Amino acid sequence: MGKKQKQPKIILPPDLPPEIPDDEVEYSDDDIKFVKENRAFASLLSTLDTQSITKHVTRVADAKDDALEKMYEQRMQKNALKKEKEETGLQVDRVDALPVKTLDGKIYFRTATKTAAVNGPSEEETGEDGNADKGLFKLTKAEKRAKLKKIRKEGKKQDKEVAKEEVEEAPQAAALAEVEEDLKVEEAFESKKFKLAELGNALLTDPESNIKDLKEMVQLSKDNDRTIVKLGLLSLLAVFRDIIPGYRIRLPTEKEQEMKVSKTIKKMRFYESTLLSAYKAYLQRLIALEKQPLFQLVAVRCICSLLESNPHFNFRETLLNAAVRNISSCNDAIRQLCCSTIKSLFTNEGKHGGEATVEAVRLISYQVKDHNCQLHPDSIEVFLSLSFDDDLGKSEKTDRDQKYKNKKDKKRKHMEGSNQLPENDRKKSRKESISKTREEVEADYKAASFTLDAMEKRQMQTQTLSAVFEMYFRILKHTMQSIVPRPEGNPGVLSAAVGGEPHPLLDPCLKGLAKFAHLIDLDFLGDLMNHLKILASGGRNSGNTSEKFPKCLTVSERLQCCIVAFKVMRTNLDALNVDLQDFNVHLYNLLLEYRPGRDQGEVLAEALKIMLCDDRQHDMQKAAAFIKRLATLSLCVGSADSMAALVTVKHLLLKNIKCRNLLENDTGGGSVSGTIPKYLPYSTDPILSGALASVLWELSLLSKHYHPAISTMATVLSSMSTEQNQLFLSKSSPQLAFRDMSVDQELCFEQSGSIKLNNKKRRSNGNATSDTIGSTSVTRSFNEDDLRRKFSSHFMILHEIKENERLRRKLNKTAQSLQLYEQYKKQKKKRSKPSK
């Protein structure tokens, strides 16, 4: 009672906002956007009963008292009618059902009609939860069970519908998620691509100020996206090719870093060190990606481009190793890239001073040695683009004499200077300092300009040439081991080490020896000729040609060996005395083994030109043997090879007049002074073949050849008389004839009735000229349709013959099988009779 309780403070609600008509309300764009994005949260407002709300909250503004009383009376009447309706039903127990309170503060309970007591509760009167009014009705156990079953069924149906809705919505959600991820990945890709372009453009615009961006570009090239990696590598390639200086960067030592320098030098050192570190990281990334198949082509392209554009810069050895390692790749694009890069190094020695050439040749020779000469031929053909001085292969005696002479002159001058009176020491020291400074300036200029003096260039070319010939001789040795038999045991057995192995590098090796034959040292020419002789024989010993060894070399490779031997002989004619008769024998035998589809016609044409057309020695027996053998060859080969052989026959007939006795038709081949041995068509030696005792009957068949040029050439050759003098030599060569005929093989000829000959000689400027097919210009045409029809009938006959042979063999096998079956039945009957 002593203390008074504090009365609570009454907090009045805030005043309502002024009423504004709906027409005057303004909605902002943000409000409209917010409502549209959050439409799902406004579902409660859409389910409100606006009519009941307006019924209880209706405000009557500026209404008169009479109108208000009338409205009040109408409301009371409605409430009275509602109460009468509620009295007709039964009120539910207040414990069983919760009341409902309206906005005006009144409480209502659920009611049930009296008629529902008889028929039982319906679904509408049971309420939302489906339970009947417990206070009025008591359900039996059966009704309860049925009701529970019904509720469970409805619940399962609802669960299934919900599951179906979720299953239908799941693919849509997954698709939306995938689309969102793709959009994010595409946005990230575009951003990285634009970043690379921006950094590259900045570096190309001002590399000194933006040199730090190189590290960021290198980091972007390590992305997980393959496309970004490729774009990064190519972007860095373009940047490095543009900003790499024209000199080799040398980083400062520790002592040089401790020295005080100007800001310009510090900036230059920072630029060079950053460039070199980024370049090193880029090369390491290229070497790592070069081993992966997905990035191999891009990495090799970048390596080759850097090596070709900047062979003078740092880490050239790394680039050379990668390029040489892929020079024999199975991928044609990669192999061609590496080969073209190596060729550019050989041809453009001004960029690197010749040092890269020596390194590349040594690396290729090491690779040939490591792979046991089993590489692609393109890896060796790059040496054909090398160029050497003509006097490089000569003996180095003159160089040694020159050095000795220079030393002697210096010693003599020194002795003469010592006998003179001593000069002033000050002047002497001044001259020495000037000469020393001049030497230093010349050395710096020489290092910066890549220009070599004659001695250094000669020394580098000597090293390159020695490496090339060392590799060539290794390939020849490997080939010799593969075809030469064992010294003990059966001579027909190959060497156990490498017997039967292919030799893909022999053909480019022989081409290289033919090109650089004038640079070979005379000390090795004898051994080289012996090796070429064995290779041209295909493994046969020149002393005993009757031995038969397996032919591991192709006809083209053996012909190439003969070509190399003749080129070496003619370039070193003064210092080398070698008999080439063995190579003529090999060529004579190889003409019968030549096959147009299998062997190379270009090699045969070159061999005919070098060994027969350009031969200065005129032996009548040998020339006649080759004329007869070439005429026989012309019957068995295509038009291009036949034309090359006939052009060679024409050269031999023009050079050897007595060989024109082969054109005579009398027995014995005409009148020739001396004894004529009997003709041996299968002789291996052209001199002992007795070809002068034969007749060139092949020309009469060749005059009816389907190709007009071949038939015309045969007609011209057969019309040569023995009394005709050697007035001119044809300007056409076997190589040119083969090339022209290869081009003209697919040409169509116009129809003409007969062969037209024109024996008029055309002379201009006092010199006799002739067509490629002889001194006469001949035109012959035929109908292409007739030719096609004849060929089709011919091949149809051949096809029918082959088909008949196949059917006959099949018939014979069937007949034999039937006979065996009859014999089996007879034997079976004989065995079954005693048992009965």
Residue 138's pLDDT band (cuts 50, 70, 90): low
- Do 290 and 258 share a structural domain? yes
User: What pTM value is reported for the model?
Assistant: 0.61
Summary mean pLDDT of the chain: 75
Three-class SS string for 616-650?
Answer: CCCCHHHHHHHHHHHHHHHCCCCHHHHHHHHHHHH
Q: Is residue 416 part of a domain?
A: no
Q: Is residue 748 part of a domain?
A: yes
- Do 752 and 633 share a structural domain? yes
Residue 59's pLDDT band (cuts 50, 70, 90): low
- Do 811 and 749 share a structural domain? no
Q: Where are the beta strands (DSSP E) in 283-356?
A: none
Average pLDDT over residues 178-203: 84
Residue 299's pLDDT band (cuts 50, 70, 90): very high
Residue given tokens 């407002």 in the structure block: 45
Q: Is residue 352 part of a domain?
A: yes
CA 714, 715, 720: angle at the middle one, nearest 5? 100
Q: What is the pLDDT of residues 478-503, one digit of tens each?
A: 888 877 554 444 433 334 333 456 78
Q: Is residue 278 part of a domain?
A: yes
Q: Is residue 471 part of a domain?
A: no
Q: What is the pLDDT of residues 751-774, one digit of tens each?
A: 333 334 343 333 444 443 334 333
Q: What is the model's pLDDT at position 727?
A: 39
Q: What radius of gyration do the chain's Cα atoms show?
A: 53
- Do 704 and 649 share a structural domain? yes
Pull the structure tokens for residue 359. Answer: 């390194």
- Do 642 and 709 share a structural domain? yes
- Do 661 and 810 share a structural domain? no
Helix (H, G, I), strand (E, B) or coil at 2: coil
- Do 738 and 684 share a structural domain? yes
Q: Is residue 637 part of a domain?
A: yes
Q: Is the pLDDT of residue 233 over 90?
A: yes
> What single-letter amino acid sits at 620?
M
Q: What is the model's pLDDT at position 37?
A: 82
How many CB atoms sit inside 10 A of residue 439's CB?
10
CA distances from 212 to 11, 203, 273, 370 (A): 68, 9, 11, 42
Q: What is the pLDDT of residues 90-107, one digit of tens each?
A: 555 555 567 777 777 777
Q: Is the pLDDT of residue 131 over 80?
A: no
Number of domains in the chain: 4
Average pLDDT over residues 329-342: 91
> What single-letter amino acid sits at 399?
D
Average pLDDT over residues 170-186: 74
Nearest to 278 by CA among 227, 313, 253: 313
446-450, long-range: CB < 8 A, 24+ apart: 448/247, 450/312, 450/350, 450/351, 450/352, 450/353
Q: What is the model's pLDDT at position 755?
A: 39
Distance CA 310, CA 325 (A): 19
Q: Is residue 285 part of a domain?
A: yes
Task: Output 440 or 530, whichever has higher pLDDT.
Answer: 530
Domain boundary among 58, 91, 120: 120
Most confident of 226-235, 513-522, 523-532: 226-235
* Paired sense of beta strands 767-769 and 762-764, if any: antiparallel
Q: Is the pLDDT of residue 354 over 60?
A: yes
Answer whether 469's CB lies under 8 Å from 342's CB.
Answer: no
- Do 714 and 678 share a structural domain? yes
Q: What is the pLDDT of residues 549-576, one digit of tens each?
A: 445 688 888 999 999 988 888 777 655 5
Nearest to 376 by CA among 385, 363, 384, 367: 367
Average pLDDT over residues 660-671: 64
**Residue 756 has what DSSP assignment?**
B
306, with CB counted inside 10 A (0-12, 13-18, 19+), is buried
Residue 182's pLDDT band (cuts 50, 70, 90): confident
Q: Per this entry, what is the length of the chain?
A: 836
Task: Output 749 or 716, whichever has higher pLDDT.
Answer: 716
Q: Is the pLDDT of residue 304 over 90?
A: yes
Residue 369: its H or E element = helix 355-370
- Do 752 and 797 share a structural domain? no
Q: Which percentage of the chain shows pLDDT scores above 70?
A: 69
Answer whether 519's CB lies under 8 Å from 392's CB.
Answer: yes
- Do 815 and 718 share a structural domain? no
Task: Output 255 or 139, whichever has higher pLDDT.
Answer: 255
- Do 756 and 800 share a structural domain? no
**Residue 612 has what DSSP assignment?**
I
Answer whether 108's CB lies under 8 Å from 100's CB.
Answer: yes
Answer whether 472's CB lies under 8 Å from 368's CB.
Answer: no
Average pLDDT over residues 154-162: 76
How many CB atoms sit inside 10 A of residue 92's CB?
19
Q: Is the pLDDT of residue 188 over 80?
A: yes
Domain boundary among 329, 361, 385: 385
Q: What is the pLDDT of residues 572-594, one digit of tens each?
A: 765 556 678 888 888 998 998 89
- Do 824 and 740 share a structural domain? no
Residue 428's pLDDT band (cuts 50, 70, 90): low
Instruction: Name the least confident of 210-224, 242-256, 498-512, 644-658.
Output: 498-512
Which residues share a beta bridge with 779? 756
Q: What is the pLDDT of residues 6-39, one digit of tens each?
A: 566 666 677 767 777 777 777 788 888 888 888 7
Distance CA 76, CA 531 (A): 134
Domain boundary among 120, 146, 179: 120
Domain that holds residue 673: 599-725+733-761+770-782
Distance CA 829, CA 824 (A): 9
Q: Is residue 183 part of a domain?
A: no
Q: What is the pLDDT of residues 387-404, one digit of tens each?
A: 887 666 554 445 544 554
